[in-house]
Amino acid sequence: MARPSIVWFRDDLRLADNPALRAAIDRGEPIIALYVLDEESPGIRPLGGAARWWLHHSLASLGERLRERGATLVLRRGPAERVVRELVTDASAGAVFWNRRYGGPEREVDAALKAGLREEGVEVASFAGSLLFEPWTVKTGAGTHFSVFTPFWRACLALPSPRAPLPEPREVAGARRGAASDSLDDWGLLPRHPDWAGGLRETWEPGEPAARRRLRAFLDDDLATYDRARDEPAAGATSLLSPRLRWGEVSPYTVWHETVEAGHGGRFLSELGWREFAWHTLFHFPELATKNLRPEFDAFPWPRLKPTHLAAWQRGRTGVPLVDAGMRELWTTGYMHNRVRMVAASFLVKNLLIDWRRGEEWFWDTLVDADEANNPFNWQWVAGSGADAAPYFRIFNPELQAKKFDADGHYQREWAPESLGDDGPEPLVDLGETRKTALAAYDHVKRAARS
């Protein structure tokens, strides 16, 4: 009697270059494709609203593509270790395959599941499918992890080149005896009352086919000018691949090799390197979303929170045109240009003096590309408390940033037109005075560290 293989999909919602799927196909037994919505295992962070919207549509796309090739996507909800083991028992599965995850709670789940299934005689194997350079393979000369990007990336590039991507399977032989599955609609991933996702629907098309089209369009149309135009929010020169990579609709190996083949990709590949560095950091510091990476920042004298200031920032009502434009783009589309993200984050932390964790939580809920490494890594970078962080005295001036990167005001007019001009609203705070206050607070951190 055939003992089917379970392929456990996670943040790798694709068929092409999926090592776990390829291993199951090579095993030669019927395949059960599984996705588990785990919001119950200890330490697992529940998805934000925009991410839940993306997940719904990406799973729908994956399920359709599997059906076209002969398999069914089984959806189950609950603690992943329990759910997978129940399915192994119910289906008399002989093997379980997955692509590795790198967050602390996820690694604990995977390790426990792997050990338990192997004790029961079930074949288990995991693969590198989400990162080009797994965290434990990149070490300093002293054998420790990196805390600065440039030597980290230099060490990565000294390693063997990333493997070639695997081809997309034409067929996926599904198990004849279908496993019970939840209904995707019953998971309630989509907003209903109110339905705030109209802008997301107008902006994005989740799923592997759209991800591949987006990669091709970027390489054909924008890669050659990426280095020059990537910081201009109105230029449309960025790849828009971040949610595709976050959900694994396209693999970093595919992006790497197609970029190398296209040429002119050095700067863009280094941006992939920052993604790798964020995961490298999270792997070695699992509490990245809640604790300062640099402990001296625990002494930062955050003032009492002003809820009206936080709300004004969240809704793009600060009276600072570039900040407001970015926050409204985020609220509408689930995305914000990276340069504007840095400016908006700096304004929250260093002009409003609001703890970076408040901003991280808001981005986690509203970004379609929010993941557990890059989101907190980038917030700590801006705050100065993270790995290879911006110097404490680097406080983005949103007015100067707008003049430099949105000189004609096109981006600001698109998203916050009333903020421009002499009759625009007054800024929530004085940029010069709040800069002085922030520098004094950072001086307090330095004095505390010395003492």
362 is catalytic: no
Q: What is the pLDDT of residues 85-138, one digit of tens each?
A: 999 999 999 999 999 999 999 999 999 999 999 999 999 999 999 999 999 999
**Quick check: 276 pLDDT over 80?**
yes
**Quick check: 391 pLDDT over 90?**
no
Q: What is the pLDDT of residue 389?
A: 77
Q: What is the pLDDT of residues 6-60, one digit of tens each?
A: 999 999 999 999 999 999 999 999 999 999 999 999 999 999 999 999 999 999 9
Closest CA to 264 of 228, 212, 211, 232: 228
Ramachandran angles phi, psi of 9, nearest 5°:
-75, 140
Q: What is the pLDDT of residue 1?
A: 65
**Quick check: 65 pLDDT over 80?**
yes
SS3 318: coil
Read off the amino acid at residue 345: A
153 vs 444 pLDDT, higher one: 153
**Quick check: 392 pLDDT over 90?**
no
204 is catalytic: no
Cβ-contact 302, 309 below 8 angstroms: no
153 is catalytic: no
302 is catalytic: yes
**Quick check: 398 pLDDT over 70?**
yes
For residues 250 and 215, what is the distance between their CA atoms, to the nearest angstrom? 8
Query: Which residue out of 356, 362, 364, 415 is catalytically annotated?
Result: 356
Token duo for residue 300: 């930062």
Q: What is the pLDDT of residues 211-260, one digit of tens each?
A: 999 999 999 999 999 999 999 999 999 999 999 999 999 999 999 999 99
Q: What average pLDDT does this structure show over 288-297?
A: 96
Going by C-beta distance under 8 Å and a sequence separation of 6 or more, which residues neighbour residue 239? 214, 215, 218, 222, 226, 268
Q: What average pLDDT does this structure show over 174-179?
A: 86
Query: Which residue out of 29, 168, 187, 274 is catalytically annotated?
Result: 274
Q: What is the pLDDT of residues 324-375, one digit of tens each?
A: 999 999 999 999 999 999 999 999 999 999 999 999 999 999 999 999 999 9
For residues 242 and 366, what is the distance between their CA atoms, to the nearest angstrom? 14
Task: Catalogue all structural domains in the chain, each as residue range(s) with its CATH number.
Answer: 5-130 (3.40.50.620), 131-161+205-284 (1.25.40.80), 295-445 (1.10.579.10)
Q: What is the pLDDT of residue 371?
A: 96
**∠ Cα 130 362 314 (to 5°):** 140
3-state secondary structure labels for all residues of 352-390: CCCCHHHHHHHHHHHCCCCCCCHHHHHHHHHHCCCCCCC
Q: What is the pLDDT of residue 360?
A: 99
Per-residue confidence band for 421, with pLDDT thresholds at 50, 70 and 90: confident
**Quick check: 188 pLDDT over 70?**
yes
379 is catalytic: yes
Per-residue confidence band for 419, with pLDDT thresholds at 50, 70 and 90: confident
**Quick check: 293 pLDDT over 90?**
yes
Per-residue confidence band for 206, with pLDDT thresholds at 50, 70 and 90: very high
Which residue has 């995707």 as its token pair? 184
Q: What average pLDDT does this structure show over 437-447?
A: 91
For residues 43 and 39, what is the distance between their CA atoms, to the nearest angstrom? 9
**Quick check: 449 pLDDT over 80?**
no
Query: Which residue out of 123, 168, 296, 338 is catalytically annotated?
Result: 338
Which ranges constitute the DSSP H helices of 247-397? 252-262, 266-284, 307-314, 321-333, 338-346, 356-366, 374-383
136 is catalytic: no
Query: Which residue out of 134, 271, 361, 414 is catalytically annotated?
Result: 271
Query: Which residue out of 256, 364, 379, 415 is catalytically annotated?
Result: 379
Q: What is the pLDDT of residues 150-172, one digit of tens each?
A: 999 999 999 999 999 999 999 99
Query: Which residue out of 40, 68, 86, 302 is catalytically annotated?
Result: 302
SS3 300: coil
Going by C-beta distance under 8 Å and a sequence separation of 6 or more, which residues neighbour residue 217? none
